[in-house]
C-alpha cells in the first residue's frame, strides 16, 4: 500500500509525470486498486444556481462580466427549481448535487440565506450536497456545514507561478485561505484545476505539489480539460491532448493515493477509449448530465453505456463518509443574526422611535 505523503518534491512529481506512459498508467492503476474499488465511480450533477455577471477576470470563464460570451446573466434560482434539479439528478444515478454560483465571494445577505435553504432542501433528499460559490469565510463555511453541506469546491486552478497569467483579480493565497476556512468547518474539500491553458508540465506538477501540501489532502481533486469558450482570452487554446489528460490523472492518482480524482470538464472532447484510459489511470469520479455549468457534457445515456462497457458502477451517496448532521441553530438567516448583533452591543442602547416607525 503506498503511503500518504505531504513531503513530495517538485522533482519527484515531474519525474512521475514524465515516465513512459505505459509505465505511468500501470503504476497509477496499481495505486488506485490499493486505495479504491476501481469499478466504483462517484457521479455528481452540476447545477448553476446563479449564472454569469461575475466580477472576476478568470481567463477561462464564460461567466466573467469582463468578457463578451454567449452566456446570459441570471438571478439566483428558487428553492423549487433546485428541488426539481436534485430529483432528476438522483433519478439519473447521481449521488451528489454540486451547486455553482458565479460569485467572487459569498456575502452575508438574503441570497446566502437562500443558498443555505437550498443546501438543506437537497440534504433532505439524501443526496451529498456540494457548493462552489467563490471565496468564503470561516463563519460562512460553518453555516453551510450546519445546513448539511458535504463538500466545498474551490479550485487552485494551476500553479502559483502560472496563476497570475490567468487571473488578476484575486491571488493564489486567497484560494488557499478559503480552503483553510472550509477545513475549519469540517467540510470535505474538493480542489483541483484545469490543464490546457498554455501552462507547462512543471506548472501542472507544481499545482499537484501545492495540493499535496494540504493536510489532510483534498477528498476530491477535479482535473478539468479546458473548454475553450468564445469571447474569453483562452478561446483559441488548442484542445488538450488526451495523453496529457491521462498523464495528469495518473500523476494525481500516485501523488494523492486516498483522494478521489475527478475526470471533470472536457469530456465531450474525448473519445470513449480516451475516457477509459483515464478510468484505468485512476479517475474515480465524473460530472454527469448534458450540461456542466454553462458548457456541454456527454448525455447521461452515453455515460451509462460507457459504464456498462467498462464494468463501472455509480457509487451510492455517503459511501466515503458519514452523512453530516444539520444544526438548525447555526444556519440562522442573515436578518436573525443582524438583529441579534444590533441589540447586544454592551453598554449601547438604541432608542426606538415608535412614532417614526408607524409612519
| Nearby residues of 33 by Cβ (< 8 Å), 6 or more positions away | none
The answer to the question of residue 237 lying near ligand DTB (CB under 6 A) is: no
Q: Near ligand DTB by CB under 6 A, which window of 75-83, 276-284, 287-295, 318-326? A: 287-295
Q: Identify which of residues 5 and 107 has a Cβ nearer to ligand SF4 in the complex.
A: 107
Give the torsion through C-alpha atoms of 133, 319, 156, 109, to 10 deg.
Answer: 20
The answer to the question of residue 115 lying near ligand DTB (CB under 6 A) is: no
Least distance from ligand DTB to the Cβ atom of residue 319, Å = 20
The answer to the question of residue 192 lying near ligand DTB (CB under 6 A) is: yes
Decide which of ligand DTB, ligand SF4, ligand SAM, none touches 64; Cβ closer than 5 to 8 Å per partner kind.
ligand SF4
Q: Return phi, psi of residue 110, to 5°.
A: -65, -25
Q: Would you state the cell numbers that stand for residue 211, as one nine-digit string? A: 495540493
Q: Find the helix or strand (DSSP H, E) in which 71 lies.
A: none
The answer to the question of residue 46 lying near ligand SAM (CB under 6 A) is: no
Decide which of ligand SAM, ligand SF4, ligand DTB, none touches 95; Cβ closer than 5 to 8 Å per partner kind.
none
The answer to the question of residue 103 lying near ligand SAM (CB under 6 A) is: yes
The answer to the question of residue 155 lying near ligand SAM (CB under 6 A) is: yes
The answer to the question of residue 52 lying near ligand DTB (CB under 6 A) is: no
End-to-end CA distance of the chain: 73
Distance between CA atoms of residues 256 and 6, nearest Å = 9
Which one of 143, 170, 175, 190 is the catalytic residue? 190
Among 227, 254, 255, 288, binds ligand SAM (CB under 6 A): 227
Distance between CA atoms of residues 342 and 213, nearest Å = 41
CA distance readout (Å), 316 to 6, 175, 212 = 30, 30, 27
130 is catalytic: yes
278 is catalytic: no
Alpha-helical regions (H) of the chain: 10-17, 21-35, 79-91, 110-123, 138-146, 160-166, 172-184, 201-212, 242-255, 272-280, 300-310, 334-342, 354-358
Q: Which of 323, 326, 318 is nearest to 146 (CA)?
A: 326
Cβ atoms of 157 and 178 closer than 8 Å: no
The answer to the question of residue 218 lying near ligand SAM (CB under 6 A) is: no
Among 90, 96, 142, 154, binds ligand SAM (CB under 6 A): 154
Decide which of ligand SAM, ligand SF4, ligand DTB, none touches 179; Cβ closer than 5 to 8 Å per partner kind.
none
Q: Return phi, psi of residue 6, to 5°.
A: -110, 5
Distance between CA atoms of residues 37 and 312, nearest Å = 10
> Rule CB under 6 A: which of 6-25 touch ligand SAM?
none
What is the binding site for ligand DTB (CB under 6 A)?
46, 62, 98, 100, 132, 153, 155, 192, 222, 224, 227, 264-265, 292-295
What is the binding site for ligand SAM (CB under 6 A)?
60-61, 100, 102-103, 132, 134, 154-155, 157, 193-194, 224, 226-227, 229, 265, 293
Just list the catalytic residues. Answer: 54, 58, 61, 98, 130, 190, 262
Amino acid at each position: 500500500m503506498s503511503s500518504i505523503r505531504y513531503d513530495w518534491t517538485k522533482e519527484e512529481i515531474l519525474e512521475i509525470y514524465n515516465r513512459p506512459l505505459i509505465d505511468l498508467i500501470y503504476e497509477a492503476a496499481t495505486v488506485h486498486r490499493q486505495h479504491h474499488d476501481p469499478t466504483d465511480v462517484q457521479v455528481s450533477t452540476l447545477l448553476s444556481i446563479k449564472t454569469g455577471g461575475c466580477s472576476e477576470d478568470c481567463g477561462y470563464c464564460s461567466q466573467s462580466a469582463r468578457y463578451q460570451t454567449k452566456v446570459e446573466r441570471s438571478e439566483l434560482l428558487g428553492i423549487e427549481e433546485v428541488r426539481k434539479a436534485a430529483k432528476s439528478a438522483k433519478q439519473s444515478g447521481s449521488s451528489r448535487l454540486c451547486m455553482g454560483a458565479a460569485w467572487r465571494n459569498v456575502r452575508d445577505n438574503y441570497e446566502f440565506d437562500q443558498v443555505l435553504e437550498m443546501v438543506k432542501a437537497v440534504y433532505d433528499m439524501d443526496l451529498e450536497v456540494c457548493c462552489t460559490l467563490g471565496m468564503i469565510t470561516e463563519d460562512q463555511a460553518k453555516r453551510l456545514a450546519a445546513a448539511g453541506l458535504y463538500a466545498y469546491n474551490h479550485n487552485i486552478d494551476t500553479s502559483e507561478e502560472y496563476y497570475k497569467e490567468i487571473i488578476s483579480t484575486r491571488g493564489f493565497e486567497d484560494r488557499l485561505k478559503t480552503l483553510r476556512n472550509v477545513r475549519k468547518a469540517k467540510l470535505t474539500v474538493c480542489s483541483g484545476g484545469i490543464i490546457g491553458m498554455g501552462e507547462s508540465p512543471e506548472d501542472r506538477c507544481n499545482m499537484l505539489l501545492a495540493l499535496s501540501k494540504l493536510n489532510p489532502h483534498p477528498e476530491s481533486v477535479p482535473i478539468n480539460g479546458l473548454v475553450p469558450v468564445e469571447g474569453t482570452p483562452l478561446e483559441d487554446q488548442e484542445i488538450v491532448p488526451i495523453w496529457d489528460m491521462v498523464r495528469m490523472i495518473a500523476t494525481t492518482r500516485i501523488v494523492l493515493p486516498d483522494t478521489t480524482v475527478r475526470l471533470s470538464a472536457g469530456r465531450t472532447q474525448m473519445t470513449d477509449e480516451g475516457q477509459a484510459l483515464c478510468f484505468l489511470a485512476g479517475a474515480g469520479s465524473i460530472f454527469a448530465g448534458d450540461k456542466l455549468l454553462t458548457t456541454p457534457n456527454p448525455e447521461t445515456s452515453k455515460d451509462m453505456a460507457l459504464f456498462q462497457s467498462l464494468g463501472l458502477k455509480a457509487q451510492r451517496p455517503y459511501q466515503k463518509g458519514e452523512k453530516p448532521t444539520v444544526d438548525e441553530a447555526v444556519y440562522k438567516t442573515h436578518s436573525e443574526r443582524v438583529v441579534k448583533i444590533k441589540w447586544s452591543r454592551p453598554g449601547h442602547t438604541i432608542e426606538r422611535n415608535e412614532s417614526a416607525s408607524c409612519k
